[in-house]
Structure 1
Amino acid sequence: MSRTARTTRLAALSTVAALGLTACGGGASGDDGDVTLRFTWWGADTRHELTQEVIDAFEEEHPDITIEGEFGSWDGYWDQLATQTAANEAPDIIQMDEQYIREYADRGALLDLDGVDVSQVDESVVENGRIDGELYGATIGINSFIMVANPELFEEAGVEMPDDTTWTWDEYADLAVELSENLDGAWGAGAPREPSGFTMWLRQHGAHLSGEDGGLGFEPADAEGYFQFYLDLMEAGGTPPAEAISEDQNIGKEQSLSGSGELALGTWWSNEAVALAGAAGVEMELLRFPSPTGEAEDATPWYKSSQFLSASAGTDHPEEAQEFIDFFANSAEAGEILKAERGIPPNSEVRSMVSEDMEGMQRATADYIDEIASEIGESEPVTAAGGSEFGAILYRYQDEVFFGRQTPAEAAEAMHAEMVAQLE
């Protein structure tokens, strides 16, 4: 998504803050006691079709509840939701993203989902949607930040695939340089996708992007080390030059260097591997991140909620809204329809059932999620209110470092100060 689009969405959220987020109910009741609920989500056509199938299945079981779908693209979604919420016209059920959940929860716009069953969901995943002890988002898909490896490029370079349970960051850097030196028209590794790459680095060094208190969870020195590592890697030839890195930050998965088969190692969310493999025409391998020690547990992977379902605090029908959310997140019917479209099902029983029918990269993704279960670290603190711009800020300061306009220390200090100001 473009940096301009991020700025536009931030302005919309500022409007919400100015007007206040107290909402009246978005649903309606008929004279005969029937209930109508509005449900909004973003996504492509495939998601719309599958979501409607889930709605149809729910309505068949609950003939007294009608779900009216409202959907569109990511770029327009947050502007519209902010406007609706500020005007007290929020939908009853909201597909929510981790970047925004604290924004809405802190302003009293979301319902505590105490009626949604989370007994079959890993506690670290449940925590992703919990703020100050209350559940404001029910996870409907999980993924993990990973290295996506192109085996054809490894073979072309004559380089063996690494042991991802033992490799360190120094070994990763050496491998990236070796791959680049032996490839024609491709590179060993790319710059990380943000803010996830920086989040992973911080976790491994005892810090976080956002703190539990809603502020920043790192110091400038943490960012300086991060910038220095990738600058050194670029200057050694392990990644593309600054111009290519900057261009790769602003295009979709299919058009990216990984998607076009020009990157041996790329950093992505696990649920993105299916699209990358399809675009590149290669069955990708999914690898753990390297760690400072070479121990798999010290790579500190975590399960991220790819999306949540939330309910408006002002809904006239909180029980029915939660009933639908519970069906969407926990029912076998919904799992069979959605499979991994929104990420791997968080409900362990549904995930086990659904993964049996998966093939190719979808099955590889499900297997990877299960494989790292014993290595999962603590859940990542919810993004601070105002932190939805952190990715754009990180990309901008990466450019400053990679293009030689600032040193890693200068960029780290300036970025930290800007992020603090962003939260204020």
Structure 2
Amino acid sequence: MRHSRPTSVSALLLIGALGLSACGGGDGGGEGEDVALSFTFWGSDTRQQITQDVIDLFEEENPGITVEAQFGNWDGYWDQLATQVAGGDAPDIIQMDEQYIREYADRGALMDLDQVDLSGLNETVAANGRLDDAQYGVTIGVNSFVMVANPELFQEAGVDMPDDTSWTWDDYADIAVELSDNLEGAYGAGAPREPSGFQSWLRQHDKSLSTDEGTLGFEPEDAEEYFEFYLELMNAGGTPPASAMSEDQNIGTEQSLSGSGQLALGTWWTNESVALSDGAGVEFDLLRFPTESGSPEDAKPWYKSSQYLSGYSRTDHPEEVQQFIDFFVNSPEAGEILGVERGLPPNTEILADLSEDLEGMEAVSAEYIEAIEPELGPAEPATAQGGSSFSQILYRYQDELFFERVTPAEAAEAMYSEMQSQLQ
């Protein structure tokens, strides 16, 4: 899921100066003494409350261990964490994001969670937090990137909902243009949300945004083809004009074109569909991505970790850190409290039990996640170290492209060069 403000480069560089003489974030001492752990996470007020409820339950079942929650908003979270890690005083348990897990793992800030039971997780879900044969993060919510379709706009336009098991990119473009032509005050499709849109495109061409080795997994020609497709779609009228698409990048989910009922086809993460539905007042259809061949397996979807839990490598209490993370992921009671607020539960048994009580878009999301399991491609490599700014770079060159200040080839070359420089 895209966030508006990645951490500054200067803050990330602080991680390189790990305070090796300092000890980790928890209190406590010798054998038999009480253990105090610290746990940092970001999110909404709802997330804060349900997370605290899980902490309370864990403490009740594990006398002698207390967990102090350190809660904040996404803005400032990564700057603060980088400073704490550089000072050798990071929290014991860290809510981690895919954009940053390699940053912190490669700099020695995360521990190997080798004692957490992952047997209840789908293998691709478990692999998401595995780097260089070490488990640096455990998934706590599962999403998939999806095409969100507004059935009311399809009906208004007199256009049939596509068969998502057979449609192609040409079909998608034709449908988007037809929708735009037949709608008043709404559009057929929007610009892809990044970097997930580009990742989805690359996967269909056996490429990736980053590689497991921490390099770029594509060439400028791949980006040029991607940019050409969306520029042609805009010029054909299948999307809003450049100014509207640029504005749509920087507003909240419910205020977006999809969330305000002005977009028939949008690209989002499955867990975002709940807020979109609330905003638009309609239950959306979730569609597989189109492919060149029309075969759904060629879309190579993947299960993304909406967030991970990681452990600080210099914690005084590695055993208790893993004990808490195991509880958070595998306790049925914790799963019932957490619900789907962070995405679908990664533990398949907990998800099966929870799914019986899901309604509306939550149920639709769960059904979609289950339906695409036979079609999954390989796990998406973690964003390369230095790549936390890739989404902003992609959006910036999309703007340049859609306002026709550069050609697709120029945008692709410049974007590739800038991303490459971030890795150095």
Q: Aligned partner of 1:261: which letter?
A: G
For 2:142 and 2:194, how far apart are their aligned partners in 1?
18
Superposed CA deviations along residues 162-184 of structure 1, whole A, max 9, x for unmatched, are 00010000000000000000000
Cα distance in structure 2, aligned partners of 1:141 and 1:43: 13
Determine the structure 1 residue equivalent to 2:84. Answer: 84
Deviations 1:235-261 (A, max 9, x none): 000000000010101111011000110
Post-superposition offset of 1:211: 1.1
Number of the residue aligned with 2:217: 217
Q: What do the CA deviations read for 1:18-55 (whole angstroms, capped 9, x no partner)?
A: x2364622111168611000000000100000000000
Q: Distance in 1 between matches of 2:258 and 2:288?
A: 17
Q: How does 1:134-213 map to 2 (within 5 A)?
A: 134-213=134-213
What letter corresponds to residue 40 of structure 1 in structure 2? T
Which position in structure 1 is the counterpart of 2:13? Answer: 14
Question: Does 1:398 pair with 2:392?
Answer: no
Query: Which residue of structure 2 lines up, in the alignment, with residue 24 of structure 1?
Result: 23
Mapped partners of 2:303, 2:291: distance in 1: 17
Matches within 5 A, 1:216-255: 216-255=216-255
Give the aligned partner of residue 389 of structure 2. Answer: 389
Q: Does 1:116 align with 2:116?
A: yes
Instruction: Report the 3-state secondary structure (helix = DSSP H, G, I; strand = E; otherwise coil) of the residue aligned with 1:79.
Output: helix
Separation (CA, whole Å) in 1 of partners of 2:380 and 2:239? 28
Counterpart amino acid of residue 320 in structure 2: E
What's the secondary structure of 2:326's corresponding residue?
helix
3-state SS of 1:164 partner: coil
Aligned residue number for residue 357 of structure 1? 357
Contact 1:2 1:250 in 2 (8 A): no
Q: 1:134 to 1:30 in 2, by over 3 A?
A: closer
Deviation of 1:2 (Å): 7.5
1:288-299, aligned counterparts within 5 Å?
288-299=288-299
Separation in structure 2 between the aligned mates of residue 277 and residue 208 of structure 1, nearest angstrom: 31
Question: For residue 176 of structure 1, what is the amino acid of its counterpart?
Answer: A
CA distance in 2, matches of 1:406, 1:266: 25
Structure 2 distance, partners of 1:225, 1:212, is: 24
> How far has the Cα of 1:295 moved from its partner?
0.3
Structure 2 CA distance for aligned equivalents of residues 209 and 363 of structure 1: 31
Question: Offset of 1:15 from its aligned partner?
Answer: 2.0
Output the CA distance in 2 between the equivalents of 1:372 and 1:2.
25
Which residue does 1:321 correspond to in 2? 321
Q: Which amino acid aligns with 1:130?
A: R
Contact 1:21 1:108 in 2 (8 A): no
Q: 1:21 to 1:205 in 2, by over 3 A?
A: farther
Distance 1:291 1:365 in 2: 21
Cα deviation 1:400-423 (Å, max 9, x = unaligned):
111111100011011101100011
Kept in 2, the 8 Å contact 1:147–1:286? The answer is: yes
Runs of 4+ in 1 over 4 A off after TM superposition: none
Contact 2:12 2:79 in 1 (8 A): yes
Q: Measure how far apart 1:9 and its partner are.
A: 3.1
> Relative to structure 1, is the Cα distance of residues 10 and 369 closer, same or farther in structure 2, using a 3 angstrom cutoff?
same
SS at the partner of 1:142? strand
Q: Distance in 2 between matches of 1:57 and 1:158?
A: 52
Tell me how far 1:10 sits from its aligned partner. Answer: 2.8
Q: Percent identity between the aligned chains? A: 67
Q: 1:354-404 CA deviation, whole Å, 9 max, x = no partner?
A: 111111111111111111110111000110001110000001111111111
The correspondence of residues 68-107 of structure 1 with structure 2, limited to 5 A, is 68-107=68-107
Q: Provide the C-alpha distance between the structure 2 equivalents of 1:26 and 1:78, rounded to a whole number of angstroms.
A: 17
Gapped runs of 5+ residues in structure 2?
none
Partner of 1:371: 371
Paired with 1:265 and 1:416, the residues of 2 have a C-alpha distance of: 28
CA contact (8 A) 1:307 1:342 kept: yes
Secondary structure at 1:25's aligned position in 2? coil
Cα distance in structure 1, aligned partners of 2:27 and 2:171: 59
1:347 aligns with 2:347: yes
- Once the two structures are superposed, residues 319-349 of structure 1 have per-residue CA deviations (whole angstroms, 9 ceiling, x without a partner) of 0000000000111011100110100011111
Contact 1:297 1:376 survives alignment (8 Å): yes
> Which AA in structure 2 matches 1:49?
Q
Distance 1:43 1:105 in 2: 22
Aligned pairs (5 A) from 1:59-70? 59-70=59-70
CA contact (8 A) 2:18 2:88 kept: no
TM-score, with length taken from structure 2: 0.98
Question: Which amino acid in structure 2 is aligned with residue 354 of structure 1?
Answer: L
Partner in structure 2 of residue 261 of structure 1: 261
Q: C-alpha separation between the residues in 2 aligned to 1:335 and 1:351?
A: 8
Q: What is the identity, as a one-letter code, of the residue corresponding to 1:346?
A: P
In structure 1, how many angstroms separate the alpha carbons of the residues matched to 2:51 and 2:354? 16
Structure 1 length-normalised TM: 0.98
The 8 Å contact of residues 15 and 107 in structure 2, kept in 1 or not, is answered as no
Inter-partner Cα distance in structure 2 for 1:340 and 1:10: 32
> Between Structure 1 and Structure 2, how many residues are aligned?
421
